[in-house]
Amino acid sequence: MTLPLMAIFFVPICFGLRDLYIWTDPRAVAASPVLRHRADYMTPVFFLIWSIAAAVLNKWSFQQDGTADVEPTRKLRALSGPGMVFYPLTATFVFVDWVLSLEPDWFSTMFLVLIVVGQMLSGLAFSIMLLAWLRKFKPLSEIVTETHFHHLGMLLFAFIMLWTYMAFSQLLIIYSGNLPREILWYAHRIAGDWMVVVWFLVLFHFAIPFLLLLSQDLKRNPRALATIAAVVFFAHIVDLYWLIAPSFSTTGIHVHWLDFAAPIGVGGIWLAAFARRLNSRSILVLNDPRQTNPHAE
């Protein structure tokens, strides 16, 4: 339900499209055969469909909290099933516009899947951190056990492996093909001190969390698992920076104070909105038919 807020944060980007995206310049499109082929497709995409779906799901969930009738849950399942297919498809188009088109001559069929998997990984890491904090308070303190964190730890482990597999597969395919257009994208991202960021991601987005999550005890320890999740969450923010910033700084890292102020400011406002929404409802679902009948349809 914070998607409308993020749509508002997107407005300044719309005013700066010509500074960010070369495909918004008619002269550049006319001069580039690649851009001419893509010009009709690459247009700004907004959050409308996602926001409507989120609002409808939220409405039915709230209705289920107020009634013992199973109809709201049936509606939730009917929309959520196709939604799990619909979101990655729409996200694919969106991430082509937002990220891939920063360097429109480059393309990768693996890149869009990598972004979606990264979203799932960072969302899971955030959920683990949130649950580790909220478990100290009722009613979660009476319900959440070490087993819940163990299962979440296994999921985090699985998504770290999946993200790493996607990232390495993309690199391996492009490296083995050795085509100038594709290899140039990686050349920007290992130039100069960008290589420091690469090693940071290898260590903190994969190697260290992977090794730590091999431990059953750490996965069952809420504080330890939340710490690992926080490391993965921060590392994924760095990964997004590494995907985007080298498009504008191809020779090395050029740090600006806005690189820190923007995520802190936007993230802080988002957290405040999220906490307000979270505090306005029961933190546990009410009248969910699956609580009394796990096989309820």
Please list, in sequence order, all residues whose beta carbon lies within 8 angstroms of the beta carbon of residue 24, skipping any fewer than 6 positions away: 17, 18
Q: What is the pLDDT of residue 41?
A: 58
pLDDT tens readout for residues 96-138: 878 888 887 788 888 888 999 999 999 999 999 999 999 988 8
Q: What is the pLDDT of residue 267?
A: 93
CB of 192 closer than 8 Å to CB of 252: yes
272 found inside a domain = no
Q: For residues 24 and 80, what is the distance between their CA atoms, to the nearest angstrom?
A: 35
* 226 and 131 share one domain: yes
Q: Is the peptide bond before 88 cis (omega within 30 degrees of 0)?
A: no
* 131 and 67 share one domain: no
Please list, in sequence order, all residues whose beta carbon lies within 8 angstroms of the beta carbon of residue 73, skipping any fewer than 6 positions away: 60, 64, 288, 289, 290, 296
261 found inside a domain = no
The domain containing residue 130 runs over which residues? Answer: 106-254
* 227 and 161 share one domain: yes
Structure-token pair, residue 226? 């939340």
* 148 and 232 share one domain: yes
* 33 and 133 share one domain: no
Q: What is the pLDDT of residue 109?
A: 83
Please list, in sequence order, all residues whose beta carbon lies within 8 angstroms of the beta carbon of residue 49, skipping any fewer than 6 positions away: 90
DSSP SS3 for 295: coil
276 found inside a domain = no
* 110 and 221 share one domain: yes
Q: What is the pLDDT of residue 42?
A: 56
Q: What is the pLDDT of residue 148?
A: 94
* 51 and 110 share one domain: no
278 found inside a domain = no
Q: For residues 212 and 225, what is the distance between their CA atoms, to the nearest angstrom?
A: 9
Q: What is the pLDDT of residue 175?
A: 87
32 found inside a domain = yes
Structure-token pair, residue 44? 């700004």
56 found inside a domain = yes
Q: What is the pLDDT of residue 183?
A: 86
C-alpha of 176 from chain center: 28
Structure-token pair, residue 258? 């806005």
* 198 and 249 share one domain: yes
* 217 and 231 share one domain: yes
Q: What is the pLDDT of residue 282?
A: 79
* 64 and 162 share one domain: no
What is the residue whose two structure tokens read 């320890």? 221
Which residue from 51, 56, 111, 46 is spatially nearest to 80, judged by alpha carbons? 56
212 found inside a domain = yes
CB of 281 closer than 8 Å to CB of 63: no
Q: What is the pLDDT of residue 66?
A: 82
Q: What is the pLDDT of residue 97?
A: 79
Q: What is the pLDDT of residue 17?
A: 80
Q: For the chain, which residues score pLDDT lower than 50?
A: none
Q: What is the pTM for the complete model shown? A: 0.88
Domains contained in the chain, number: 2
* Residue 235 CB-density burial (10 A; 0-12 exposed, 13-18 middle, 19+ buried): buried
Phi, psi of 66, rounded to the nearest 5 degrees:
-105, 5
Determine the length of the chain. Answer: 297
Structure-token pair, residue 161? 């492996």
Q: What is the pLDDT of residue 40?
A: 60
263 found inside a domain = no
* 99 and 121 share one domain: no
* 181 and 94 share one domain: no
